[in-house]
Amino acid sequence: MADQLYLSVWYPNFRLAALPAALEKVMQQFAAVAGSARVKAVTVYPISWTEPEVYQRIYDEEHEPDLPLSEPREAIAAAMETVHDDFAYEFELVWELWAPEVGGGLEPVWRKEPRVVRIVGYGPEFDEGAYEQNGHVRIDFGPDTPFLQEEVDLDEDTARHVKQNVQMLVDFTNAVQQHGGISSRLLWSESGESLAQKLIARLQSVN
């Protein structure tokens, strides 16, 4: 069963005023790995996740391919024109990961498919100080399926594509560690299981 995968990062002596710059730095590392950091959508939540959003912007690059506002700095500035300590700021970006296309009993055909990544900046009072557990910034990678592909028979070809997806995850995590100015980070899953342990167990079955 797929498990939701996150990366939480914390900053030393963090102040709310530094949140926009921290988000931009994370997106810069994402761009270095994914090849692009154009923002697809932004949503701002007040107080907690159960409250209706106070701001939402969807960037339609299909019809506005040169829209400058979807660049990280501009999108962050628009969403965080006024920074509140009880708001959470969620930015949707996309990277492409290998995924199998299976049909007709044939061997899977591997193609790169877009996957949504959500980067969230937490105000210190949002959701009763959720940043303490979730990080000043949390990156939501979505289901861990691309990094395990547990529904596909594991052979050398599958293992190669899974490893390439995992390498992108590792490269991004390391880039945030090295260039993000953070004090600590944690890669974790909703179930509490270790992705590394599941990946090792999965790949050990390859002859």
pLDDT confidence bin for 97, thresholds 50/70/90: very high
What is this structure's pTM?
0.91
Which one-letter amino acid corresponds to residue 115?
Answer: R
Please tell me the predicted confidence (pLDDT) of residue 65.
Answer: 59
Confidence (pLDDT) at 166: 93
- Position 83 confidence tier, pLDDT thresholds 50, 70, 90: confident
| Percent over 90 (pLDDT), the chain | 66
Task: Kindly give, in sequence order, each residue whose CB lies less than 8 Å from that of residue 204, ignoring residues fewer than 6 positions away.
Answer: none
Average pLDDT over residues 69-82: 89
| Residues in the chain, overall count | 207
The structure tokens 């303490």 sit at 132
Which strands form 184-189's sheet, in the order they lie side by side? Answer: 55-58, 41-46, 87-101, 109-122, 137-143, 4-10, 184-189
Least confident span in 19-23, 62-66, 179-183:
62-66
From the list 40, 43, 17, the residue with the least C-alpha distance to 30 is 40
